[in-house]
Structure 1
Amino acid sequence: MANFPSLNLIDVCKVSPPPTAAAPSSLPLTFFDLAWLRFHPTQRLFFYEFPLDEISFHDVIVPKLKSSLSLTLRHYLPLVGNLVWPSQSDVPIIEFVEGDGVFVTIAECDGDFYHLSGNGFREVSKFHPLVPELTVSNDRAAATAIQVTKFQNKGFSIGITNHHAIIDGRSSTSFIKSWAQICMEESSIPTPKQMSLYDRSVITDPKDFAKIYAKAWKDLEGPNNKSLNLKFPKTKHGLIRSTLEFTHQSMQKLKEWILKEKSKNENFDSSSSHISSFVIATAYLCVCTAKLEGLKEGKLCFAFAADARTRLKPQVPLNYFGNCLVGVFLRLERFELLSENGIILACDEISKAIRNLDDGVLNGCENWGLRMSQVTIDYSKSQVISLSGSPRFGVYNVDFGFGKPKKVEIVSSELPNVFSLIDSRNSDVVMEIGVVKEKDEMEAFIAIFNHGFESI
């Protein structure tokens, strides 16, 4: 492993939007937001390979990023604000006033740019200095924070930390892409479809889920605990991060094999010849995990978040700002996953769970708030395999005018039972899978992952 990188802080400043009256001064949280109230923040890191010296970085790149950020924030005012929980309010609100802004850290790092932005084994802890912390206290929490870090004449990184109760992956990607677009051309403005929709009335809550979720958090270390302090996972020392790839060739190979085997066995679901790349990839990861863990009794639990915008009735516009995610939970028989047709069985169960969302996307959601709050007591006790990110976000298209990212990492995805899924810069690759494990387990998992393609 390379030496631990040292960081030299150059500046911490607050970037505010130009004065505007285009949005409300506060927004209440919906039950979709409250599910994530004290969850650890999401952190994404973009590496840009761009030869630069001291002058070009400090006199050109940093001012350009700051000025374009200011112009972008006028379209995303909640990101300059803070989460607060007024004494008279049942739920927390996002509050933003004139003068609020996003804290931006400027730093220099002597770490190995190409090592950190590669796919190989990298220590999880080496990424921590490259992403900023949110300013959070018992009664106030910032929405977002940004860090720009220069590497020695190789390039720079942009780290973005978001409060998950304020923004989900779709909304945060919209913000990042708008910032990049304005950085390339300051006169550009988001199209009507890109412009954030803040109207909370599009989220219907007839059963008062928001109050139920808020009570779950107040009772967590309560009674009536309105703390906004975030709960962070206890990360094991020495965990390794690696990136695996689902190529178009391997994905097609798996799909053809699955369809061929399903056609030969009437016990399999043959209602559709279409199997999405997401279903195949996640089913494969479940099988690989079951093989890594060996002959354990019981079930393997798998969960992922699905965007509910197009599944709610009436539908919520795609440019809605905030969280609009529902949880999907599956319990898969381990002995079935380890069988010859394990991936087919997993595909069928995951496909069925996704189809069930169309029949009732909010079924069972009265329990989500309690379930999510309980997870934060000790993230490591959760035996559920889960996902972060989505290849649909297209994060490799985020070009600030310095070229597409050399690498994108979801730094906050750093528990051994969490896989991150994103698209790829490589046109031969369907998606990248971020994996975090101890070194021995990582080597074993990669061997299982690669062998599965070879054995079909």
Structure 2
Amino acid sequence: MEFWRVKEISKWFVKPKYSVSESKKPYHLGPLDLAMLSFHYIQNGLLFSKPSHLNGHEFSIDSFLESLKESLSHTLIHFYPLAGQLVIQVDEAKHECCVFVDCNKGPGAQFSHATALDITVADVLSPNNDIPLIVASFFYYNEPEVAVNYDGHFKPLLSVQVTELLDGVFIACSINHAIADGTAYWHFWNVWSEIHRAKDKGYLIPVSRLPIHNRWFPDGCVLPITLPFTRPEEFIRRFDTPQLREKVFHFSSDSINTIRAKANKESTGSSMMISTFQALSALVWRSIVRANCLPHDQILYNYMFASNRHRLNPPLPQNYFGTCIKGITTKTTAGELLKNNLGWAALLLHQSVVSLTDKAVREFVKEWLESPYCYHHRDLHDYNTVAMEHSPRFNMYGNEFGIGKPIAVRGGRGNKAVGVVNAYPGYQGTGSVDLEICLPPDSMRALQTDQEFMAAVSSPPKLIL
């Protein structure tokens, strides 16, 4: 890692501009939140060009940082749990513990300023779209190992690091994954951006989509939920990201529509039931399996992490703040996946997605409450798995902080493993998608020579820096 090239200049802690009455109560976590305690924080960042002038004055990083801290303090009024810390209460006699958020505990959200003034925007983007190692050092919680969500009882639940490059600014945000999923994570970003833009213009600070903090619990659930553990080693396992090659592949809207049409024609003949993302996921799954050179009898797993908000009955609001996701598992063998066509694989994924219903979610939660556990990376990720994470539907490029539109989205080391694929919207929008794929070097080289895969990959749009 090239952490030595990134120098921390200063660090502050930011609290909500003012407290709200709800923040004085324990913030209980639901089953889907607690299951994430052994995962890493969500880590994503936005890359911006550094302007020469801002608001009619020469650009000052110090002034920019002050404005970011000020707008963050206003944002935390609405996202007040992120300024607190986890509390672990243990009952040795019953051999159980409960975990919740004390919204007033701890110093607040962490905000830091770092510099990497020998690094340029072009270095981060890389001519071949490989993600350079130094990007990991733009995020907090990476040394000496990547933090897990359980660490939120002594680490901030939210950490922002602003890294000044020679000609750019990288704003990185790490949020505890037991508090927020991808939908909630990008909702936070969107509100922060909205408040920052309003403050820059001197307006009152409206928020178009307020987060909803009423946690979802199934009927009859007794609070607080207790876990049958008293020591962290009983349910927390640490996982450090292996040495991987991470690369961004771009797919234009035309290319994706072609993939979808092919998948639907091969699977159903005429109906367009298979979505663009299911078709793209099927293409990636088959290509990665070929690149990993797996034996034909190898059992494979595809995980697509999906929001349950609209699947529950009654549905939860899109603004529900919390972790409300479930992995959709599709299982087959390498031989079956590769001897059949793209449509067959896409239909298999489609059927798995359709099966995630209100009934399926409630049955999963009921079983979890009867025997609670945490997800562990080592159990989920290996050469025989592909995990489709994040979503091109999230509003990433709409996050502006007065210095123009972001020019790239990049992830940190959190939750990276063999076969993890993060899906982002393409820079130019219009239905394009960028996939950040994590593979061992040999597998990545094989993927780049895979004819079916590379035929679908598009040239990335040229950025005006």
What TM-score, normalized by structure 2, do the two folds share?
A: 0.84
Q: In structure 2, what is the equivalent of residue 197 of structure 1? A: 212
SS of residue matched to 2:170: strand
Q: In structure 2, what is the equivalent of residue 108 of structure 1? A: 115
Determine the C-alpha separation between the residues in 2 that align with 1:244 and 1:332: 25
Q: CA deviation at 1:86?
A: 2.3
- Could you tell which deviates more after superposition, 376-385 or 35-44? 376-385
Q: CA deviation at 1:416?
A: 2.0
Q: CA deviation at 1:427?
A: 3.6
Residues 299 and 331 of structure 2 are in contact (CA less than 8 Å); yes or no, is this contact kept in structure 1? yes
User: Is 1:185 aligned with 2:190?
Assistant: no
1:337-395 alpha-carbon deviations (Å, 9 max, x no partner): 212x4311111111111111236232444566879736245766584321221111121
- Could you tell which deviates more after superposition, 100-109 or 224-233? 224-233
SS of residue matched to 1:72: helix
1:426-450 alpha-carbon deviations (Å, 9 max, x no partner): 2466211001223332121122165
User: Is 1:335 aligned with 2:335?
Assistant: yes
Determine the C-alpha separation between the residues in 2 that align with 1:66 and 1:435: 33
SS of residue matched to 2:437: strand
Residues 162 and 172 of structure 2 are in contact (CA less than 8 Å); yes or no, is this contact kept in structure 1? yes
Q: Which ranges of structure 1 fall in alignment gaps of 5 or more residues?
A: 219-223, 265-269
1:107-134 alpha-carbon deviations (Å, 9 max, x no partner): 1102232121347354563222100126
Determine the C-alpha separation between the residues in 2 that align with 1:345 and 1:230: 38
Q: In structure 2, what is the equivalent of residue 58 of structure 1? A: 61
Q: Which ranges of structure 2 fall in alignment gaps of 5 or more residues?
A: 142-146, 458-465
Residues 16 and 101 of structure 1 are in contact (CA less than 8 Å); yes or no, is this contact kept in structure 2? yes
Q: In structure 2, what is the equivalent of residue 221 of structure 1? A: none
SS of residue matched to 1:85: strand
One-letter code of the match for 2:128? G
Residues 3 and 134 of structure 2 are in contact (CA less than 8 Å); yes or no, is this contact kept in structure 1? yes
Matched-pair identity in %: 22
Determine the C-alpha separation between the residues in 1 that align with 2:136 and 2:456: 36
Determine the C-alpha separation between the residues in 2 that align with 1:66 and 1:92: 29
Q: 1:291 to 1:248 in 2, by over 3 A?
A: same
Q: CA deviation at 1:398?
A: 1.1
Q: In structure 1, what is the equivalent of residue 178 of structure 2? A: 165
Residues 283 and 453 of structure 2 are in contact (CA less than 8 Å); yes or no, is this contact kept in structure 1? no
1:260-311 alpha-carbon deviations (Å, 9 max, x no partner): 33456xxxxx7x4232111011111111122113343132111122111111
Determine the C-alpha separation between the residues in 1 that align with 2:108 and 2:456: 52
CA RMSD between the two structures: 3.2
Q: CA deviation at 1:228?
A: 11
Q: CA deviation at 1:59?
A: 3.3
1:391-412 alpha-carbon deviations (Å, 9 max, x no partner): 1112111111211111101222
Q: In structure 1, what is the equivalent of residue 256 of structure 2? A: 251
Determine the C-alpha separation between the residues in 2 that align with 1:209 and 1:261: 49
Residues 83 and 108 of structure 2 are in contact (CA less than 8 Å); yes or no, is this contact kept in structure 1? yes
User: Is 1:77 aligned with 2:84?
Assistant: no
Q: In structure 1, what is the equivalent of residue 462 of structure 2? A: none
Determine the C-alpha separation between the residues in 1 that align with 2:451 and 2:195: 40
Q: In structure 2, what is the equivalent of residue 318 of structure 1? A: 318
Residues 286 and 338 of structure 2 are in contact (CA less than 8 Å); yes or no, is this contact kept in structure 1? yes
Residue of structure 1 aligned with 2:140, choices 132, 143, 146: 132
One-letter code of the match for 2:99? P
One-letter code of the match for 1:416? V
SS of residue matched to 1:23: helix
Residues 312 and 361 of structure 1 are in contact (CA less than 8 Å); yes or no, is this contact kept in structure 2? no
Q: In structure 2, what is the equivalent of residue 408 of structure 1? A: 409
User: Is 1:30 aligned with 2:30?
Assistant: yes
SS of residue matched to 2:78: coil
Q: In structure 2, what is the equivalent of residue 274 of structure 1? A: 273
Determine the C-alpha separation between the residues in 2 that align with 1:281 and 1:235: 25
Residues 86 and 152 of structure 2 are in contact (CA less than 8 Å); yes or no, is this contact kept in structure 1? no
Q: In structure 2, what is the equivalent of residue 233 of structure 1? A: 239
Q: 1:454 to 1:161 in 2, by over 3 A?
A: closer
Q: 1:374 to 1:177 in 2, by over 3 A?
A: closer
Q: In structure 1, what is the equivalent of residue 266 of structure 2? A: 261
Q: CA deviation at 1:84?
A: 1.0
Determine the C-alpha separation between the residues in 1 that align with 2:273 and 2:426: 23
Q: CA deviation at 1:425?
A: 1.0
- Could you tell which deviates more after superposition, 136-145 or 79-88? 136-145
SS of residue matched to 1:392: coil
Q: CA deviation at 1:4?
A: 7.6
Residues 197 and 402 of structure 2 are in contact (CA less than 8 Å); yes or no, is this contact kept in structure 1? yes
- Could you tell which deviates more after superposition, 388-397 or 369-378? 369-378
Residues 31 and 210 of structure 1 are in contact (CA less than 8 Å); yes or no, is this contact kept in structure 2? no
Residue of structure 1 aligned with 2:165, choices 151, 156, 159: 151
SS of residue matched to 1:422: strand
Q: 1:99 to 1:351 in 2, by over 3 A?
A: closer
- Could you tell which deviates more after superposition, 12-21 or 228-237? 228-237
